Structure 1
Amino acid sequence: MSTIDLIVLGMLKDKAMGAYDIQKLVEYRNISKWVKISTPSIYKKTIQLEKKGLIKGKNIKEGNMPEKVVYTLTNDGEEEFKRLMLKISDEPINIFLNFNAVVVNLENLPENYQKECILKIEKNINILKGYLKTNIEEKKDNTEIPRTGMEVLNQQYVLSEAIEKWILELKEKLNF
Structure 2
Amino acid sequence: MGLFDDFNRFLETRLEEFLRNNPHLELQALEEQLREQEEDALRLIADLNLQEQKLQDEILSTAQEVQRWHIRIEKAKAANRLDLAEPAQEREAALLRQGNQLWGQMQGLKQRKEQAKQLQRQIQQRRQEVHTKAVQAEAARANTQAQQRSATTGWSQSYKGNIKSGPDLLDDKFKRWETDDELDQLKRNIGNR
Coarse TM-score class (shorter-chain normalised)? 0.3 to 0.5
Normalized against structure 1, the TM-score is what?
Answer: 0.35
Structure holding more strand per residue = 1
Larger Cα Rg: Structure 1 or Structure 2? 2
Ranked by relative contact order (alpha carbons within 8 Å, sequence separation 6 or more), the top structure is: 2
Normalized against structure 2, the TM-score is what?
Answer: 0.32
Structure holding more helix per residue = 2
